[in-house]
Amino acid sequence: MKTIGAFALIAVCFFSGCSSEETKEAPKTMATPAPAPVSTETKPAMNSPMAINPLDDPNSLLSKRSTYYDFDKSIIKDEYKPLIQAHGEYLAGHPNAKVRIEGNCDERGSREYNLALGQRRADGVKAAMKLVGAKDGQIDTVSYGKEKPKAEGHNEAAWAQNRRSDIVYLTTE
């Protein structure tokens, strides 16, 4: 009987020792996979939202780069003000980013008149961007007049597409 009792006592001590060893081993096993989430957070996957540049994201207002005008006008329409504001705020938040605003016109009017109108359009977009924080040195303007049409044709549909200012990013961060 004493032998059975001693054997039982040894077995209990052995199994309780094994039990505590398993408890000590469990944290080591759990510690091994822990670094994986850390590396995922510091280096986003290509399909994560953090990996998409807002300038290229089709769901972002920043992916749109043209404003359109009425005939013989350089006034920015209300519908394009949020677009210009978004680009101006982007520039304000990214001081190394630079853009060129390209003013364009339709084919009607003399070369000189269209160059001047295109410049007024480009300068108007620049001024609006500066109002929301973009710096003067981040924005260049140029007028192409009627020299760079977006649409070929001699009708209102083509002319409407050609009366525009384009925002062209030269440098981004």
Q: What's the average pLDDT block by block, 10 residues per block, for the chain (173 residues)?
A: 46 44 43 37 45 88 97 98 98 97 97 98 98 97 97 96 98 76
Inter-residue long-range contacts of 71-78, CB under 8 Å, 24+ positions, other chains counted: 71/106, 71/108, 71/159, 71/163, 72/109, 72/117, 74/117, 74/120, 74/121, 74/124, 75/124, 76/124, 76/125, 76/128
Domain membership flag for residue 12: no
Residue 38 located in a structural domain = no
Domain containing 131 — which CATH number? 3.30.1330.60
Count of domains for the chain? 1
Residue 86 lies in a domain: yes
Q: Which structural domain range is residue 105 located in?
A: 63-171
pTM greater than the 0.95 cutoff: no
The three-state secondary structure class of 67 is strand
Cβ atoms within 10 A of the Cβ of 106, count? 25
